């Protein structure tokens, strides 16, 4: 056996190294993830927002130049020394390292004991900038390790032409739905997506209506799509339409007597536990609970409590973690909560008047049922204690919000909650993603997503440990996915590492040709050009040579087009005796137009009297003498 192996090695040595099947070089994962790295991860509350991979404008703002007396100096500034203690041999060179101590300290140190390590700075001198920077970095690292926020890498799921206002990730984290103001819904599959990050399906639920909310069912086999129309739709996991809820009668005043919404929808969510129940809110001023097995009527109609009779829109709605409580944000700025119990009605159990000064865009319950988060157009985020709803626990202000779908969400362990901000005209910060500590109720981190696009929806998936943030403006939109290769799992890690397959010769597909001789002429195969030309030569109409243009008397620029069926055409066509063409004159010469008509007729008077041919022979027997009418002038003379 050893002899055979040596023989094969000797034979293999005669072939070049490129002979045989070559193994494809694989790119290491580190190099792949380095392409999606963000320039910085988190920042403290006093610093500027961190830099996104798509925003280079913030790079200069993150660099704070250190102020120093000497431009060439490196490290902390040098302390002033007395002239008496100065070294005469010292030159003004570049100072590197810690500052020099004073002479008194050196003497005292020598008297007491030997100094080990770098000398201490003088008592009146501040600590160097490097020490403070290192301490801040350590604090940031501790915060990052404590909260474990995945922010090191970023990818963007593109495809929309306007702002992305709806986002939904299924419970397994394999499929992502994004809805936009461009009226479309795009479906992304992490398991089948490569590094091109292209969606595998695009839907248009309702033509001309914005997509406002998306929600997966508890089993992730169906999802709810809420648009600006009055009818919500249910789709299956692959994007096929399962049904559309009915629209109510807009001429009925009492909303409880209608079978569905009569105005545009604002929000909708699937029940967190029951897969047959969903909740929707509308501009008609009502919330409705539906059964997905019955698209013709709703199960329950909820009318919020109002100070004055009328129709105030319900801007948003939400289920609690167990599905036993419903919260609604009303257009008058109030928050109303209903507990689902036997015999419950439209009267809310909790009613907070004037909770916000403007429309509420997002509500979120905590999983333990203690806190409620609310987001509003007034640029604030409020934390409420459900046991005491009179006043908010904490109010975070100066959070610009220009979209009715801006939401709030919790982290994995609910230690943090996060929300997005909109871009203002004169602002230079751009769209941000803000992280708050739930226990301390303080801002932990600000992350820059885009310098020109607003952040609308955000989500922190529990299984993937990845943060999703939708952004966009009037001309573009996308979903930013933030992840960390050391903390996150699957999701973006899978699709980024999967390179797109190269096209080969085997990918060529010829278009199928179907031959059906008995089909209609519209579906018949086109004949060859040779046969078409032969057929046209046999056709007398198509092969007829066009006639030359004709000048002279005629109709429509031509004479004799009707093959001589008229007397005038016959007289003008050919000369009877000489067979001279019309151009030289026919039976009537061309000079007749210049002659006097009376003289031309009287020329034939003598010939007609001697040898009558036409009219006279017909009346020769009955009327031998021609009787002509006498002129009136002769009668008058008599």
How far apart, in whole angstroms, are the C-alpha atoms of residue 505 and residue 509? 10
What confidence score (pLDDT) does residue 566 get? 58
What confidence score (pLDDT) does residue 341 get? 86
What confidence score (pLDDT) does residue 120 get? 57
What confidence score (pLDDT) does residue 624 get? 67
Least confident of 48-52, 200-204, 502-506, 521-525: 48-52
Please write the tens of the pLDDT for every residue from 189-229: 998 888 888 999 999 999 999 999 999 999 999 999 999 99
Query: Which of these, 520, 362, 536, 563, lies nearest to 456 by C-alpha position?
Result: 362
The structural domains of the chain, ordered by start, are 146-500 (2.130.10.10)
What confidence score (pLDDT) does residue 511 get? 80
Please write the tens of the pLDDT for every residue from 131-147: 555 666 666 555 555 77
How far apart, in whole angstroms, are the C-alpha atoms of residue 279 and residue 269? 5
What confidence score (pLDDT) does residue 380 get? 93
How far apart, in whole angstroms, are the C-alpha atoms of residue 552 and residue 547? 15
> Do the Cβ atoms of 403 and 179 come closer than 8 Å?
no
Q: Does residue 39 carry a pLDDT above 60?
A: yes
What confidence score (pLDDT) does residue 71 get? 42
Rg value, the chain, Cα: 47
Which range of 6-20, 97-111, 159-173 scores highest in mean pLDDT? It is 159-173
Please write the tens of the pLDDT for every residue from 295-336: 999 999 999 998 888 889 999 999 999 999 999 999 999 999
> Do the Cβ atoms of 117 and 97 come closer than 8 Å?
no
Q: Does residue 276 carry a pLDDT above 90?
A: yes
How far apart, in whole angstroms, are the C-alpha atoms of residue 176 and residue 141? 31
Query: Which of these, 216, 242, 214, lies nearest to 227 by C-alpha position?
Result: 214
What confidence score (pLDDT) does residue 512 get? 80
What confidence score (pLDDT) does residue 559 get? 57
pLDDT band at 504 (very low <50, low <70, confident <90, very high): confident
Which residues make beta-bridge pairs with 340? none
- Neighbour-count burial for 340-375, b at 16+ CB within 10 Å, e otherwise: eeeeeebebeeebeebbeebbbbbbbbeeeebbbbb
How far apart, in whole angstroms, are the C-alpha atoms of residue 315 and residue 281? 7
Structure tokens at 591: 């000079």
Tell me phi and psi for residue 264, to 5 degrees.
-60, 145
Residue 128 burial (10 A CB sphere; 0-12, 13-18, 19+): middle
Residue 390 burial (10 A CB sphere; 0-12, 13-18, 19+): exposed
Residue 434 burial (10 A CB sphere; 0-12, 13-18, 19+): buried
pLDDT band at 16 (very low <50, low <70, confident <90, very high): low
How high is the mean pLDDT of the chain? 78
> Do the Cβ atoms of 205 and 211 come closer than 8 Å?
yes
How far apart, in whole angstroms, are the C-alpha atoms of residue 422 and residue 519? 60
What confidence score (pLDDT) does residue 589 get? 53
What confidence score (pLDDT) does residue 438 get? 92
pLDDT band at 631 (very low <50, low <70, confident <90, very high): low
Structure tokens at 252: 């009925």
How much is the average pLDDT of 422-444?
89
Residue 607 burial (10 A CB sphere; 0-12, 13-18, 19+): exposed
What confidence score (pLDDT) does residue 55 get? 44
How much is the average pLDDT of 464-493?
91
Residue 10 DSSP SS3: helix
Cα three-residue angle 349-352-358, rounded to 5 degrees: 135
Q: Does residue 110 carry a pLDDT above 70?
A: no
Say how many CA atoms lie within 13 Å of 10 toward its Cβ.
6
Query: What percent of the chain is predicted at pLDDT more than 90?
Result: 41
Three-state SS string across 20-43, please?
CCCCCCCCCHHHHHHCCECCCCCC
pLDDT band at 84 (very low <50, low <70, confident <90, very high): very low
How far apart, in whole angstroms, are the C-alpha atoms of residue 378 and residue 356? 7
């Amino acid at each position: 056996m050893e002899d055979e192996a040596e023989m094969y090695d000797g034979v293999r040595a005669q072939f070049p190294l490129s002979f045989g099947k070559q193994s494809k070089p694989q790119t290491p994962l580190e190099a792949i993830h380095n392409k999606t790295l963000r320039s910085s991860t988190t920042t403290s509350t006093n610093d500027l927002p961190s830099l996104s991979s798509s925003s280079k404008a913030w790079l200069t703002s993150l660099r704070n130049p250190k102020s120093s007396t000497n431009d060439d100096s490196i490290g902390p500034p040098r302390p002033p020394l007395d002239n008496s203690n100065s070294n005469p041999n010292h030159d003004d060179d570049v100072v590197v390292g810690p500052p020099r101590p004073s002479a008194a300290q050196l003497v005292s140190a020598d008297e007491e004991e030997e100094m080990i390590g770098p000398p201490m700075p003088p008592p009146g001198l501040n600590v160097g900038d490097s020490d403070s920077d290192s301490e801040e970095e350590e604090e940031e690292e501790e915060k990052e390790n404590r909260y474990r926020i995945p922010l090191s890498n970023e990818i963007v799921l593109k495809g929309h032409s306007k702002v992305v206002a709806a986002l939904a990730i299924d419970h397994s984290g394999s499929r992502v739905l994004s809805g936009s103001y461009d009226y479309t819904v795009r479906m992304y599959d992490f398991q089948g997506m490569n590094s091109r990050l292209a969606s595998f399906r695009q839907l248009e639920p309702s033509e001309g209506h914005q997509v406002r909310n998306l929600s997966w069912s508890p089993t992730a086999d169906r999802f709810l799509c809420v648009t600006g129309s009055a009818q919500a739709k249910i789709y299956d996991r692959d994007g096929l339409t399962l049904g559309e809820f009915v629209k109510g009668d807009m001429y009925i005043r009492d909303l409880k007597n209608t079978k569905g919404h009569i105005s545009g929808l604002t929000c909708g969510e699937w029940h967190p536990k029951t897969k047959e129940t969903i909740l929707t809110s509308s501009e008609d001023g009502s919330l409705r609970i539906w059964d997905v097995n019955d698209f013709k009527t709703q199960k329950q109609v909820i009318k919020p409590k109002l100070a004055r009779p009328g129709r105030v829109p319900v801007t948003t709605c939400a289920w609690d973690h167990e599905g036993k409580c419903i919260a609604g944000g009303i257009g008058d700025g109030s928050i109303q909560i209903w507990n689902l119990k036997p015999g419950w009605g439209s009267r809310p159990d909790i009613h907070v008047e004037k909770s916000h000064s403007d429309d509420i865009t997002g509500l979120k319950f905590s999983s333990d049922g203690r806190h409620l988060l609310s987001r509003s157009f007034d640029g604030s985020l409020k934390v409420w204690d459900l046991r005491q709803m009179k006043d908010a626990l904490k109010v975070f202000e100066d959070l610009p919000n220009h979209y009715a779908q801006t939401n709030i969400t919790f982290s994995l362990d609910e230690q943090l909650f996060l929300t997005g901000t909109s871009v203002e005209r004169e602002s230079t910060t751009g769209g941000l993603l803000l992280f708050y500590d739930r226990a301390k109720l303080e801002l932990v981190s600000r992350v820059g997503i885009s310098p020109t696009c607003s952040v609308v929806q955000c989500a922190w998936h529990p299984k993937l440990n990845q943060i999703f943030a939708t952004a966009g403006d009037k001309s573009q939109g996308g979903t930013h996915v933030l992840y960390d290769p050391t903390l996150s799992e699957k999701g973006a890690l899978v699709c980024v590492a999967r390179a797109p397959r190269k096209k080969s010769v085997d990918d060529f597909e010829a278009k199928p040709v179907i031959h059906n001789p008995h089909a209609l002429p519209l579906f018949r195969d086109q004949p060859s050009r040779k046969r078409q030309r032969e057929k046209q030569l046999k056709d007398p109409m198509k092969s007829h040579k066009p006639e030359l243009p004709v000048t002279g008397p005629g109709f429509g620029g031509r004479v004799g087009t009707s093959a001589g069926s008229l007397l005038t055409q016959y007289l003008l066509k050919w000369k009877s005796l000489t067979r001279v063409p019309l151009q030289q004159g026919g039976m009537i010469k061309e000079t007749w137009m210049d002659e006097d008509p009376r003289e031309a007729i009287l020329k034939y008077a003598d010939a007609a009297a001697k040898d009558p041919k036409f009219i006279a022979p017909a009346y020769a027997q009955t009327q031998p003498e021609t009787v002509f009418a006498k002129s009136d002038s002769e009668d008058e003379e008599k």
